[in-house]
Amino acid sequence: MEYEWGHLLSESSPLRIAEQEMEAYWRMRDKLLEAYKGRWVVVARGEVVAVGDSAEEAAKLAYSKVGYRPVYANKVGEEEKVMRRIYRNAPATLEL
């Protein structure tokens, strides 16, 4: 059986969208450190769409705003400890 992998790398694939959201996070990181250090931030469509004290709180808020689409979530200032990319197009509970 042969697999077609091209769709995973297309501009509209969930993987590519999540990667773009991560890139946006890192472009904004200095400002995020000033405003949200120690809090969870969710990026969608290239901007911060939710902030919370827990990953679950931030994700729920983000999904209520943008629907179930790929996003990037991380705890500002603790990126080396924790990194979350959410690819699902359906509700999910984040386990830490």
Yes or no: say if 71 and 50 are a contact pair by the CB < 8 Å rule.
no
Report pLDDT digits (tens) over 16-74. Answer: 888 999 999 999 999 999 999 999 999 999 999 999 999 999 999 999 999 988 999 99
The pTM is what? 0.76
Give the burial string for 37-55 (b: 16+ CB within 10 Å, else e): eebbbbbbeeebbbbbeeb
